[in-house]
Amino acid sequence: MSNLRHRTATLIRQAGYTDDQPIVVGIQQRGAPPVFSAQGSTLTASTPVYAASLAKQITAACAALLVNQGRLNMRSTLAQWLPELPGWAHEIHLRHLVHHTAGLPADDHIDTLIRTDHDRTTAGIIGALARSVDAPSTPGGQYLYSNAGYVCLAAAVERAAGQPLPEFARAHVFAPLRMNRSQYWPGPAPHPPGAAPLPDPRPAPLSLGDGGIWTTAHDLIRWNQALEADELGISTLLHTPGTLDDGTVLDYAWGLGLRTHAGRRIYRHGGGWPGLRAQLIRIPDQRSSIVILALADDTDRTIGLANALLDELNPADPILGTRAD
């Protein structure tokens, strides 16, 4: 364990993080207990921070649970669940939302429709979409990453579940998995009690679905463990890649990027907001996970650090940093 922690600390420095910059890295290797390395005065493995787009896979999991319960059909239209949207919502299906193929407006277009810079709430984003007469592209025709799509998906989940998303997720995801410091946070305060706030003047948005989760490095490793063991009974569905309407298979599943590294399948997603960078990776054939949460960071260093950690996880040897060749 000490070698693992020491090597991780070395890679954090090599990625360009100085000792006073808050970052926490968690690694679980081959099903062994996770090891965490944290630095900076504000961050530990148990400190809740904003997870940004890492929330998408949990939003997708909530939808998948409702699918399994027969309460949500991913082929139903967005208009069925959000009738307040314009006519183009009749052409979009929930499956388009989960795989980013709905053709919804890009973030910058949504921002121009939101009345103030601080109205990035669920209501604010859906209201902006309601004022957008035309969808920019044909649903199902191409992959276009969309935060607004996951806000709409979360709203559909709430209406199908008959309860707010924070309550549904707590009862069906966080509590069963013992992710005790994780929650969706809709405000009105910019962050939940006990969390590490993001720096002014850009507090975390309060929209749910695309983001909205405050969690810890410890809980995110726990989430990966649960997916690996299929503890919620939805892992096969969550790992199913999306397709365009012409049958083209995508490298994006249910809130999870499907990638390869050194010939191995990995599940990967990043997250970012001013003052935060995050990475969450799972390597299924090794039962290994990596989580990186960096505060006061607006760079791409987490990507390089994640790749360096992946390079160090050699499947032929259980000790991080020891090469079998």
Asked if pLDDT for residue 317 goes beyond 50, the answer is: no
Q: What pTM was estimated for this model as a whole?
A: 0.93
Q: Give per-residue pLDDT as tens, 287-299.
A: 999 999 999 999 9
* pLDDT value, residue 263: 87
C-alpha count within 13 angstroms, C-beta hemisphere, residue 290? 28
Across the chain, mean pLDDT equals 91
Between residues 116 and 11, which one has the greater pLDDT?
Answer: 11
Is the model's pLDDT at 80 over the cut of 80? yes
What percentage of the chain carries pLDDT values higher than 90? 78
Class of 2-312 in CATH: alpha beta
Does residue 264 have a pLDDT over 60?
A: yes
Q: How far apart are CA 182 and CA 205, in angstroms?
A: 16
Residue-range domain boundaries for the chain = 2-312
Residue 112 has pLDDT above 90, yes or no: no
pLDDT in tens, 158-171: 999 999 999 999 99
